[in-house]
Amino acid sequence: MKSFLGIDLGSTTTKAVLLDDGGSVLGRGITNSRSNYHLAADIARDEANVDARFTLLDRALEAAGETGEEAVQFRKRLLYHFRKVQQLAQLASLRDKALVEARGGRLGHHGAPLEDRLARLFEDLETNWRKPRLGGAARSDFFRDQASGDFARMAEKLADRALPFDVLMSVFDKVIIQVENERIDLTFEGNIRRALVSCLENESPERRARYEAAVLSVADTPLDTVRSIGTGYGRQTLPFPKDSIRSEILCHGLGAHVMFPKTTTVLDIGGQDTKAIQVDGDGIVTSFQMNDRCAAGCGRYLGYIADEMNMGVHELGPLAMQSTRHVKINSTCTVFAGAELRDRLTMGQRREDILAGLHRAIILRAMALLARSGGVADEFTFTGGVANNPAAVQALRQLVEENYGSRTLNISPNSIFTGALGAALFALRASQEVANA
């Protein structure tokens, strides 16, 4: 089967989208960008391939008339087992590396007790491995996040005077980077059989045979990526020829258009930059503005605020939504974010009110870019990580309404894939161009 790949190499996350030759999304994949863009691109692509196989499985099941509850449940369970197999493979690698680390290196002097403790810790992690979260493709919990939470919990339990928590965690910090930077086989083809075995354990032989046949036929379908286009902050580092690289502004415009075909104005607030884009009826960019060299008011800013408040970045929006008092903040300078926050806290302002003010300040900056790019026309699509933040969305809605009147505001749950989707569509178009030439 032919497929077309779009990769969006962002400063925080790398996204991949696979399309089939009719332009339908086959699969999406996301991973954290690490410091290794190549690897991040590979992993995101593999993830998209996995997702694509599951889409093909859906199609195969549907074609075979397997649409009942039983099939739905099977599909769910299979995905669950597949994720488990994948993550246990990563966990095993983490364990091996941790033990090597304990034996030699800097921590060698702790000797057998450390090895022992780690062995117990991992045993426990493996048996109590939490149900992998299977939320939409836009799940933000990568292996690192989940493993680090679980590891820390266990380390707390097992730590004592001789082997304090810090020592255990230092092992984790050291080896998680190695695991993230190694290529473990996480593919569908490589792992689905094991998942299938545990998934079909209690099934009747007849059903087992039916499902097995469907799954294995999908695993054997070649997924031939005929064209790839890369975009995003790190696009220059992709091992793609120049004509396979597109600016993220074009990709965002096209991606937003595909998600919401009536889109005229696009706002993207990412980690490092904010873009205001106008597109025509075909999703072609007609004008754009982006922040200058200063990243004030971009997603990264919220990251600093979250660190400063000792919170997760995802918790900021909901807390800000509880604000009852209007606090006006003018500066969105990343460098002074901490100072600004502490000042206001000492002035006695409440955290939720300050946060609401900060969100509004970010959106005010975006409003200036929107105005410069040509305003906000109907429909208006908001993308990027910050589009998942309810307080930012609320402030945006309000300010757009005040300045431009009522507008349809589109936010897709897959908004994080907008750039990659646009890139994939460029890939599809490019190959059609070649075919038509």
Partner 1 sequence: MSEPDPKAAGAVKDASMIKQKEMIAGHFSALSRAKESGKKVVYTFVPGNLTELLHAFDVLPVYPEINALQSGMRKKSGAYITEAERLGHSEDVCTYVKCDIGMLKAGNIGPTGEKLPEPDLLLLSYTGCFTFMKWFELLKREYHCPVAMLHVPYQGDGEFTPAMRDYVVDQLRTEVIPKLEQITGKKLDEAKLEEALARSSVAEDDLVWVLESAKNKPSPIDAYFGGVYYIGPIFTAFRGTDLAVDYYRTLRAEVQQRLDLGLGPLTPEGEMKNERYRLVVEGPPNWTSFNEFWKMFADEGAVVVASSYTKVGGMYDAGFRHDPTRPLETLAEYCAGCYTNLNLPSRISMLEKYVREYSADGLLINSVKSCNSFSAGQLMILREVEQRTGVPGGFIETDLVDPRYFSAANVKNRIESYLQMIEQKRRNAGARVSVQVPAAVAPKTRLAVLP
Helices (H), 104-200: 111-127, 143-158, 165-180, 188-200
Which one of 293, 324, 347, 402 is in contact with partner 1 (CB under 8 A)?
Answer: 293
Which one of 24, 73, 217, 398 is in contact with partner 1 (CB under 8 A)?
Answer: 24
- CB-nearer residue toward partner 1: 94 or 279: 279
Based on the shown chain and the rule CB under 8 A, indicate whether residue 327 belongs to the binding site for partner 1.
no
Which one of 246, 344, 360, 365 is in contact with partner 1 (CB under 8 A)?
Answer: 246
Which one of 197, 284, 335, 339 is in contact with partner 1 (CB under 8 A)?
Answer: 284
Which one of 5, 94, 259, 354 is in contact with partner 1 (CB under 8 A)?
Answer: 259
Residue 211 CB partners (closer than 8 Å, separation 6+): 74, 78, 196, 200, 203
CB of 425 to partner 1, least distance (A): 8
Query: Which long-range contacts link 193-199 to residues 24+ away (Cβ below 8 Å)?
Result: 193/219, 194/81, 194/85, 195/78, 195/81, 195/82, 195/84, 195/85, 196/78, 196/81, 198/81, 198/84, 198/85, 199/74, 199/77, 199/78, 199/80, 199/81
Task: Show the CA angle centred on residue 145, arms to residues 141 and 150, nearest 5°.
Answer: 120
- In this structure, is the dihedral angle defined by the CA atoms of residues 345, 347, 349 and 350, taken in order, positive or negative? positive
**H helix or E strand, kind and range, residue 130:** none
CB of 365 to partner 1, least distance (A): 14
Pick the stretch among 66-74, 206-214, 282-290, 345-353 that binds partner 1 (CB under 8 A): 282-290
224 CB neighbour count, 10 Å cutoff: 8
Interstrand relation of 224-231 and 265-269 (parallel, antiparallel or unpaired):
unpaired
Which one of 140, 221, 225, 287 is in contact with partner 1 (CB under 8 A)?
Answer: 287
Which one of 7, 154, 250, 423 is in contact with partner 1 (CB under 8 A)?
Answer: 250
Place of tokens 């941790």: 98
Which one of 372, 401, 403, 413 is in contact with partner 1 (CB under 8 A)?
Answer: 372
Based on the shown chain and the rule CB under 8 A, indicate whether residue 269 belongs to the binding site for partner 1.
no
CB of 173 to partner 1, least distance (A): 29
Residue spans of beta strands (DSSP E) within 332-393: 380-383
Based on the shown chain and the rule CB under 8 A, indicate whether residue 283 belongs to the binding site for partner 1.
yes
Cβ–Cβ < 8 Å for 396, 320: no
Residue 246 CB partners (closer than 8 Å, separation 6+): 229, 230, 231, 235, 422, 423, 426
| DSSP letters spanning 87-100 | HHHHHHHHHHHHHH
Backbone angles phi, psi at 163, to 5 degrees: -125, 80
Q: Is the peptide bond before 248 cis (omega within 30 degrees of 0)?
A: no
CB of 82 to partner 1, least distance (A): 22
Which one of 69, 220, 292, 402 is in contact with partner 1 (CB under 8 A)?
Answer: 292
Residue 419's nearest CA partner among 90, 94, 11 is 11
Which one of 82, 288, 301, 382 is in contact with partner 1 (CB under 8 A)?
Answer: 288
Based on the shown chain and the rule CB under 8 A, indicate whether residue 201 belongs to the binding site for partner 1.
no
CB of 72 to partner 1, least distance (A): 18
Which one of 286, 398, 403, 408 is in contact with partner 1 (CB under 8 A)?
Answer: 286
CB of 22 to partner 1, least distance (A): 5
CB of 423 to partner 1, least distance (A): 12
Pick the stretch among 61-69, 99-107, 214-222, 284-292 that binds partner 1 (CB under 8 A): 284-292
CB of 250 to partner 1, least distance (A): 5
Residue 214 CB partners (closer than 8 Å, separation 6+): 57, 60, 61, 64, 66
CB of 48 to partner 1, least distance (A): 15
Based on the shown chain and the rule CB under 8 A, indicate whether residue 22 belongs to the binding site for partner 1.
yes
Pick the stretch among 42-50, 244-252, 305-313, 379-387 that binds partner 1 (CB under 8 A): 244-252
Based on the shown chain and the rule CB under 8 A, indicate whether residue 374 belongs to the binding site for partner 1.
yes
CB burial class (10 A; 0-12, 13-18, 19+) of residue 74? buried
> Alpha-carbon distance 119 to 397, whole Å?
52
- CB-nearer residue toward partner 1: 255 or 317: 255
Based on the shown chain and the rule CB under 8 A, indicate whether residue 154 belongs to the binding site for partner 1.
no
Q: How many residues bind partner 1 (CB under 8 A)?
A: 34
Residue 6's nearest CA partner among 38, 28, 32, 37 is 28
- Locate 165 and state its tokens: 């928590």
Which one of 191, 289, 381, 394 is in contact with partner 1 (CB under 8 A)?
Answer: 289
Based on the shown chain and the rule CB under 8 A, indicate whether residue 437 belongs to the binding site for partner 1.
yes
Would you give the DSSP letter of residue 133?
Answer: P
Residues that bind partner 1 (CB under 8 A): 19, 22-25, 246-250, 257-259, 261, 273, 280, 282-290, 292-293, 372, 374, 429, 432-433, 436-437
